[in-house]
Amino acid sequence: MSSFYEKHFKGAGGISELWRIAFPMIISSSFDVLIMFIDRLFLARVEPVQMAAMMTGGLTAFTAGTFFIGLLGYSGAMIAHLYGAGRLKDCSKMFTQSLILSIISYPLVLSLIPLCIASFRWAGHSPEQIGYETEYFMITIVFTTLFTLMRAPFGSFFSGIGRTSVIMIANFAGLSVNVVFAFLLIFGKFGFSRMGIRGAAVAVAAGSVANLAVLVCFYFGAANRTKFNVMNSFAFEWTLMKRLLRFGFPSGLEFAISLSAFTTMVTLFHGYGEKAASAVTIAFNWDMIAFLPMIGLQIAVTTLVGQSLGRKDEAGAIRSTWSGLKINLLYSGFMLILFLSIPSYLVKVFEPSVPTPGWNEIAAMAVPMIMMMSVYPISDGMFIVFSGAIRGAGDTTWAMAASAILHWGGALYVYVLTHVLQLPPVTAWTLFVLIFPLFGLTFWLRFRSGKWKGRNVIPDEELPLVPEPTPAIPNE
C-alpha cells in the first residue's frame, strides 16, 4: 500500500500535488456549469424554445470572444513558467500585459455582432427562436463579454501561481448572484416583472460583475502587493507582450476555431426544428456536467506542467500529466454509468411545469441522445488532459492546427449527416458522437511522441547591468 501511494500520489507531479490545484478549479468549473444549467432549467419551466434559444444565443456570444479569451488565458501558462523559475515580479508584469490586451479586445468583439445575428437566419431557425436568441445574445455580448474579458487576466494570474482557491471563491460569488437574479427576473418574483430569457441574460451579467469584483479584491490584497510587487507592475513590457502574443495567439485561435465549430454543430442540429433543438439542448446540458468541470483539471495540468518546465523538470511535467489522466478516468467512468443507467430521469428534470405540446416527442429524442453520450467521456478525458499538457509546454501551434482539423472536420461531418443525408435527428446524433474518440487519440499520440518538449516559453531573465571595473593605473 505504501509503495502504491509513493508511486501515484506522493511527490512532485503526483496526484496529491495536482489535486491541491485541481480541486478548487474543478469546483469553480462546476459553478460555471451550474449557472448555465440552472438558468436553462428555469427557462425550460417557462418555455422549451427559450431554453434552446439561450443555448445558441449564449454560445454565439461566447464564441465571438473566444479568440481573445484563449489568448488572454494563455497568460496563465506563462505565469506558471515564470513562477516555477522564481521570477515573481515578472508574474505581475505578465498579468498587466494580459490586462492591456483585454481592454483592446472588447471593441473588436463588438464588431462581430452583425455576423453573429445573421448566423441565426443562416441556420434556418424559426422566427420565434431567432427573436429569443437575438435578445439573449445582445445583452450577453454587450455586457457579460466585457466582464468575462476583464476576468481572464485575473483568473489566469491566480491559476498560474497555483492559488486556485481564489478562483473558486470568485466563481461561487458569481453563481450566488446569478441564481438570485435569475429566479427573480425569469419568473417575475417579489414584484419584479416576468422577463423570461431577458432576465436570464441580465442574471448572467450580474454574476460576472460579482465574480470580477472578488478577483480584483484578492489581486490587490496585501499578500500580492508584497510578494509580487503588483503596484509597480502596471507598465507595458514589450518583451513579455511579444512572448504572450507568440504563444497565446495560436492558443486563442485554437479556442476560437474549436468553439465556433462546436457552435456550428449545435446550430446544425437546431435546424431540425424546435423539438429537436430542445432535445439536443437537454443532451448538451448533461454533456456540460460531464465535460466542463474537467476544464478545471485541464487548467491544473497546464499549471503544473508550466511550473515544472519553468524549473527545467521535464519528468515532473510528464508525471503531472499522467496524474491528471488518472483523476479524469475516475470521473469519466462515473459519468458513463450515469448516462447509461438513468437517462429518462435526466430528461425528466427539464420537463416544463405546464404541459407543453410536443414534450413527449422531445423526451423520446433526448433519452437515446443522452445514452449515446456515454461513448465519449473517457476519450474526452484524454483530450482534456493531453491538450492541457501540450499547451502548458508551449506547443500551441500544433495544438491549434490539430484542433482546427478535428473540430471543423466534425462540423463538416455533422453538415453531411443533417443536411446532405438528412438522417433522423437521433441517428445523426449517434453517428456524431462516435467520432469523439479520435480527438483524445490524436493528442495522446502527440504527447507520447515527445515533440512538445524543449520550447522556451518565457524570455530569458534580464540581468542587471554591472559597470565594467576601472582598469588599474600601473605605477610609474
Judged against a pLDDT cut of 90, whether residue 154 lies above it is answered with: yes
**What span, in angstroms and rounded, lies between the C-alpha atoms of 135 and 138?**
6
pLDDT at 467 over 60: no
Q: Are 66 and 251 in contact (CB under 8 A)?
A: no
Q: Which residue has the cell 438558468?
A: 39
pLDDT in tens, 13-65: 888 889 998 889 889 888 888 888 888 888 888 888 888 888 888 888 888 88
CA–CA distance, 65 with 83 (Å, rounded to integer)? 28
Query: Grid coordinates standing for 424?
Result: 433522423
**pLDDT level of residue 2 (50, 70, 90 thresholds):** low
171 exposed, middle or buried (CB, 10 Å; 0-12, 13-18, 19+)? buried
Q: Which of 372, 374, 350 is nearest to 279 (CA)?
A: 350
Q: Fill in the amino acid letter for 43.
A: L
Contact 45, 353 (CB under 8 A): yes
Average pLDDT over residues 419-433: 91
Give residue-wise pLDDT tens across range 104-137: 999 999 999 998 888 888 867 778 888 888 999 9
Q: What is the C-alpha separation between 325 and 329, in angstroms, rounded? A: 6
- Between the CA of residue 204 and those of 39, 43, 133, 154, 452, what are the distances in Å? 9, 13, 15, 19, 38
Helix 293-310 to helix 145-160 angle, to the nearest 10 degrees?
50
Distance CA 431, CA 413 (A): 9
Is residue 240 within 8 Å of 74, Cβ to Cβ?
A: no
pLDDT of residue 466: 40
CA pair distance 58, 397, nearest whole angstrom: 28
**What pLDDT is attached to residue 470?**
42
**Strand extents, DSSP E, 76-170:** none
- Where is pLDDT greater, at 177 or 349? 177
Q: Give residue 236's pLDDT.
A: 92
